Amino acid sequence: DVKVTQSSRYLVKRTGEKVFLECVQDMDHENMFWYRQDPGLGLRLIYFSYDVKMKEKGDIPEGYSVSREKKERFSLILESASTNQTSMYLCASSFRQAYGYTFGSGTRLTVV
Amino acid sequence: AQSVAQPEDQVNVAEGNPLTVKCTYSVSGNPYLFWYVQYPNRGLQFLLKYITGDNLVKGSYGFEAEFNKSQTSFHLKKPSALVSDSALYFCAVRDMNRDDKIIFGKGTRLHILP
């Protein structure tokens, strides 16, 4: 079964910490995405990547960065975590955009 | 601008009754439309998609969706609801103006009452 795996289901971090959220897919997909999900706001795109070492800003990139050194792995980095980054983070991948995304199980991050 | 709207934040249906979760879209060109479901503290799972062909699309878990071009709608339906169908449902559409990225509605919470 094809999979997108997010390394942590739940994380609690302190304000100011550097936080790494890892995502790995085993489907040889070119495209990978990071979203955050908040009640009433739906899914908002943070960053995406169409190829190794390639990254593009989404709709809300401020306070985040990403890394894609290998095709299968796309990492989201919170340089200095803040309480307003408490959220559910979802990673997704796709072969071709038009055919839909496969999502990981999500990481619920709490910044205290 | 390409967009997708889910007009209901929440839908309540009695178990065994038919259910409908509404979605309307606004796109240029031919729409690619999707439905996803999210169970508590989980990621989104693909239910079904419409790209071309029959207006009635069948998907996972007994769900289907009806594409209506004149009404620009893509409503999700199921003939007989189960309590286990209670979840958050997202409609989504391909955005041709943004490199074909998929944009999501805000979601509709479906409650199936036993």
Q: How far is it, in rounded angstroms, from Cα B86 to Cα B44?
A: 14
Which of A42, A97, A103 lies closest to B100 in CB terms?
A97
pLDDT, one tens digit per residue, over B31-82 is 899 999 999 878 899 999 998 888 999 999 999 999 999 999 999 999 999 9
Residues 6+ apart with CB under 8 A from B33: B23, B25, B49, B50, B65, B67, B74, B91, B92, B93, B94
By the 8 A CB rule, do B8 and B105 touch? no
Mean pLDDT on A10-23? 97
Please report the pLDDT score of residue B61 as a whole number.
93
pLDDT band at A13 (very low <50, low <70, confident <90, very high): very high
pLDDT, one tens digit per residue, over A24-65 is 999 889 999 999 999 888 899 999 998 898 899 999 999 999
Residue A71 has pLDDT above 90, yes or no: yes
Q: What are phi and psi of B65, to 5 degrees?
A: -140, 145
Q: Which residues of B touch A (CB under 8 A)?
A: 32, 34, 36, 41-46, 49, 51, 90, 94, 99-102, 104-107
